[in-house]
Amino acid sequence: MAKRNWNIDTSHSEILFTVRHMVVAKVRGSFKKWGGTVELDPENLADAKVAIQIDAASIDTRDEKRDGHLRSADFFDVERFKELRFEATRIDAQPGQKSFTLHGDLEIRGVKKPVSLQGEFLGSGKDPWGNLRTFFRVEGKINRKDFGLNWNQALEMGGVLVGEEVEMEGNLELVAA
């Protein structure tokens, strides 16, 4: 296969996150509005180009009150910082291997930091309508405080209300442009 442009099928893809709440519980969420550009050869990922833009206000944790707080200046400050952005800077991949490491710059609240995500190429093929599709999964962790997401509340029992570590996961279905 040759290098080509791909459209992200956002109706069949997702960007997810998980954060600890009160030491034990996990809050899971996603972003409902996002997109980006991808240029790659699924058989040679090392030369790929990836750029993702996420509408910060589209955060969804299945709790409107919590989502409102996450949109506020305590967290994403969506009035000032409309988007989260990721742009790949390097992909460590060997031809024919399914696993890879995606290195890039993640920007949240105007703070840009390098991150590394572990990825897996899940295959390519034609859908029932003849469109060429390819599938990927990536995951990684960040410390939210590195991006200025500092709000927290101490707990009487010890610890804090919101964990610092954020687990991220992306499941991507791409359609050849």
Instruction: List 4's β-bridge partners, or say none.
Output: 40
* CA–CA gap between residue 159 and residue 23 (Å, rounded): 7
Ranges of the chain with pLDDT below 70: none
Q: Which domain holds residue 23?
A: 4-176
* pLDDT in the model for residue 39: 96
DSSP state of 44: E
Task: Domain count for the chain, please give it.
Answer: 1
User: Of 133, 108, 113, which is closest to residue 17 (Cα–Cα)?
Assistant: 108
Mean pLDDT, the chain, integer: 94
* pLDDT in the model for residue 121: 95
* pLDDT in the model for residue 24: 75
* pLDDT in the model for residue 132: 96
Please give the model's pTM, rounded to 2 decimal places: 0.93
Which CATH number goes with the domain that contains 86? 2.40.128.110
* pLDDT in the model for residue 163: 92
